[in-house]
Amino acid sequence: MKNKKILCAFLTALLAVSAVSCGSSDESSEESTTGTSEAVTEDTSAEKESTDVSENTTEAETEKSADNVDINDYITSEQPEPALWKVTDKESGNELYMMGTIHIAGDNTFPLPDYIMDVYESCDGIAVEYDVNAIESDYSLMQEFVFSMAYADGSTIKDHLSEETYEKAKGYFQEIGQYNELLDIYTSGFWISQIQSMALLSIENMNSSGVDATFLSYAAEDNKEIVNIETLEIQAAAITAYSDELADYLLEDLIDNIDDVESLAETFGEMYNAWADGDIDLLADIDSDTEGIPEELIDDYMEYQNFVVNERNEGMAEKAAEFIENGDNYFFMVGALHFAGDNGVDDMLEDMGYTVERIA
C-alpha cells in the first residue's frame, strides 16, 4: 500500500454503505432539513447540478483521469469466490443465505461462481441494504435523499471545516467544473462522497455499479422481489456520522491524494482482492488499522466505524432473524465489512441461537 491513509476514506464506502454505489450521493435521512429543503427547492436546476456531481464527466475531469491506470492491473483474483453463509433455525428448519458484497467490480467479477448463482436462482427475492437502482430511477426519491444530506440547522459546510480544507475542496470542485454555491449547504460527508465518486471515475475499467447493484438488475429482470434491509434514514446517518474534525482530515487527505491514481487503484485492488478471496479476516484487519490517522482523531475514527459498522450490524441481524422466522426465501446481501471481525451479522445471528455455517 503506497498511501495507507487513502484506505481510511474508502474502506467503509466500498464495503459497508450501499448507497455509495448510486450515482450522485451516498445516503439519506428523512429528518433532515426543513428550512434548508425549502431553500434548495427554490432552485431546482442548481440543486440538480450540485447533486449530479459524480454523474457528469466534464472536460477537466476527463483530463484528470487520463492517467491510464487500469484497475485490472491490481486485481489478482482470477475468479472471485466471495464469502457465503447459511443460517438455519434449529426449530423450524428455515434457512437464509447471506453474502458480503463490494461496491466496485472488475472485468472478471461476473459471472459469479455457481455456489452463489445457485442460491440466487432458487431465491424468491433479494434483500439488500437499500435498492440503489430505485434511488437512481426515481428523481423525487433522489431529491429526498440528497436534501437529507444538507445541514438542518442553517449552517453551511464553512462552519464545519477549517478554512484551508474548505478552500481546497471548493477549488477541487471548481477545477472540474462542478462547484455551485448551493453545494455549501451540504454536509462534509456529502462532499466526501462526491470526491470518492470522482476518484472512481479516474481509474480505467472500474465498474462502480458493484455486486449488489448487479444483483438488483438481475432481480428486476427476473421479476424477483427486492427488499430493503435498511431505510434511507439509516443510510444517510452513515454518511453524516463523521465528527467535524475527522471529516476535515479525511476530506483534505482525499483531495491531496486524488491525483495519485496509482495508489487509489492499489487501494481498491487490495480491498477487491480480499473480498474476492473471501478473506473476511483481512477486511477486519484493514478496518481496525488506524495507521496514518492522527492520534487525536483515533477516537473519532473508531466511533465513526463503530456506528457505521457495528451498530448497523445489530439492525441487519434483527432483519435477517425476521426473514428466517417468517420463512422468507431471500438472498441476503450486505457490504462485506458487515461480516468482518467478531461482531459481524453472522456472529450476532449465532448469538441469537441460529446455526451459522460458512459454506464458502
For 178-193, the pLDDT digits (tens) are 999 999 999 999 999 9
244-273: per-residue pLDDT in tens? Answer: 999 999 999 999 988 899 988 988 898 899
Selected residue with higher pLDDT from 122 and 284: 122
Decide if pLDDT at 53 tops 90: no
pTM of the model: 0.85
Query: What value does the CA radius of gyration of the chain take, rounded to a whole number of Å?
Result: 20
Q: What percent of the chain has pLDDT over 90?
A: 57
Note the pLDDT of residue 38: 37
Where do runs of H (alpha helix) occur along the chain? 4-15, 35-41, 44-51, 59-64, 114-122, 132-137, 139-147, 163-175, 188-201, 210-221, 232-239, 244-257, 261-276, 280-288, 298-305, 312-326, 345-351
Q: Which domain holds residue 130?
A: 4-358
pLDDT of res. 281:
86
According to DSSP, the β-strands at 84-88 and 355-358 are antiparallel
Query: What pLDDT does residue 25 have?
Result: 33
- 321 pLDDT above the threshold of 60: yes
With vertex at residue 32, the alpha carbon angle to CA 26 and CA 33, rounded to the nearest 5 degrees, is 120
pLDDT at 9: 56
Predicted confidence band at 19 (pLDDT cuts at 50, 70, 90)? low
Q: What is the mean pLDDT of residues 101-126?
A: 94
pLDDT at position 10 is 66
pLDDT of residue 239: 87
Return the higher-pLDDT residue of 291 and 351. Answer: 351
The count of domains in the chain is: 1
Q: What is the mean pLDDT of the chain?
A: 84
What is the average per-residue pLDDT within 336-341?
A: 93
